Every structure is written in structure tokens, then in C-alpha cells.
């Protein structure tokens, strides 16, 4: 982790402008082809959710601006690694927030996820024991093939990217799903979201 030197940052004026907004987030929704990712999951006994979440985290960690956060001192912090914080649905239909440590190895990542799933299933707590900024918040709506999505806004200063995953649909011989991403415009521009989109599709195709 390091503190970004805002004085030499080429986005300094952008940061100072959007950082004054009450709600500086913007969001987009786009479609991804998950055909190969689904086939990999079936062939390797890897949860499909874990698989596309892992591809998402690979892409997040390859876009530097998605690793930026604003701390309480209004400094821009650059984290070395970003982890996943997906919601997990319990059998009673409530959910818990999680903190899943990222690992480049998908099987180790799945183990980390399953450990968090077990913790959530055996708890009524909403928040995980570890709840830090070096993550992205993820929600899944597997019942809906949405084409737009809005995140709730608490009102506090926030800079963590938010993602939502839709229901998977089979279209001809392909399988597709929607990804919604919301980011703080003080840190992230449309270019960086486009780069994330490209990298995510690349990793889903592996």
C-alpha cells in the first residue's frame, strides 16, 4: 500500500472536482459472454459463481485506478491487492457480507470463498470480522436478467467499487450475463471501466 502523490497526478483536477460531490459515483451495465467460464466450471467442479468472481477479481487487480481508495485524511491510497467482498445468501434468505482473500489460483480462491460461506451460514452477523477498504463490494441477483442497476447510497464518503451480477441466460449456443459496476468518479473514469470490461472478458474466456 502507498499514498498517491496528488500533486503530480495527471488526474488531480478531476479528483478535486468530483471529490466535492455528494454522490460522486457513476455506473454502467454491460453484457459478458460466460460460455467458456461455465464450461470450465462444469469440467473442473468449480462453482460457477466462484469462477466468474475470480475472473472479476483478476480484472480488478489489473486496472490500477480500481485499486485506489480515499482514506479519512482525504488521501488517495493505492492498494497492492484488492480482495472480494460478495454477499452470501443464507438458507433463511437473509444475507451476510464477506471478505474473501484474493488468490491468483482459482482453487485456493474457492477454498477462501467456501470458508467465508461456512462462516456466514453459521452466523446471523451482517458484517465480516475483517471489513477494510482493500476490496470491491459484490452482489448477485441470479433471479433477474437486469439491464440497469442502482446501488444504495449511505451518504458517507465512499470510494469502494460496487459490482452486481445478473442471472445467466442461454442465447443460442452462448451463455451471457450482465455486469453492473459503480465507481467513484474522483478516482475512476469511463476509460478505466472500459479497460475492466476488456480484461474481464479476457479472463472469462480462459
Q: What pLDDT is recorded for position 164? A: 98
* Mean pLDDT within 158-184: 97
More reliable by pLDDT, 156 or 183: 183
Q: What is the DSSP letter of 180?
A: E
Q: What is the DSSP letter of 23?
A: S
Tens of pLDDT, residues 121-136:
999 999 999 999 999 9
* Mean pLDDT within 50-58: 98
Task: Say which CATH superfamily domain 2-204 falls into.
Answer: Chloramphenicol acetyltransferase-like domain (3.30.559.10)
Lowest-confidence region among 6-15, 39-48, 152-161, 191-200? 152-161
Predicted TM-score (pTM) of the model is 0.96
Q: What pLDDT is recorded for position 110? A: 98
Model confidence at 106, pLDDT cuts 50, 70, 90, reads very high
Q: Please report, for residues 5, 149, 170, 191, the alpha-carbon distance to residue 137 in angstroms, rounded to integers and kept in the order given.
A: 26, 14, 26, 21
Q: Please report, for residues 49, 85, 88, 168, the alpha-carbon distance to residue 117 in angstroms, rounded to integers and kept in the order given.
A: 12, 12, 7, 21
Amino acid at each position: 500500500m502507498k499514498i498517491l502523490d496528488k500533486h503530480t497526478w495527471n488526474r488531480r483536477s478531476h479528483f478535486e472536482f468530483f471529490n466535492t460531490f455528494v454522490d460522486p459515483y457513476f455506473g454502467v451495465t454491460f453484457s459478458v459472454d460466460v460460455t467458456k467460464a461455465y464450461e470450465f466450471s462444469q469440467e473442473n467442479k468449480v462453482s460457477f459463481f466462484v469462477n466468474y468472481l475470480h475472473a472479476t477479481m483478476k480484472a480488478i487487480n489489473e486496472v490500477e485506478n480500481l485499486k485506489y481508495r480515499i482514506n479519512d485524511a482525504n488521501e488517495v491510497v493505492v492498494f497492492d491487492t484488492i480482495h472480494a467482498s460478495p454477499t452470501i445468501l443464507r438458507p433463511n434468505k437473509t444475507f451476510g457480507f464477506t471478505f474473501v482473500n484474493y488468490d491468483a489460483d482459482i482453487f485456493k480462491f474457492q477454498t477462501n470463498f467456501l470458508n467465508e460461506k461456512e462462516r456466514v451460514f453459521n452466523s446471523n452477523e451482517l458484517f465480516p470480522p475483517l471489513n477494510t477498504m482493500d476490496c470491491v463490494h459484490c452482489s448477485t441477483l441470479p433471479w433477474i436478467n437486469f439491464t440497469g442497476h442502482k446501488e444504495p447510497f449511505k451518504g458517507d464518503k465512499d470510494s469502494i467499487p460496487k459490482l452486481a451480477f445478473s442471472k445467466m441466460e442461454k442465447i443460442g449456443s452462448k451463455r451471457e450475463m450482465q455486469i453492473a459496476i459503480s465507481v467513484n468518479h474522483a478516482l475512476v473514469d469511463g476509460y478505466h471501466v472500459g479497460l475492466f470490461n476488456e480484461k474481464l472478458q479476457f479472463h472469462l474466456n480462459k
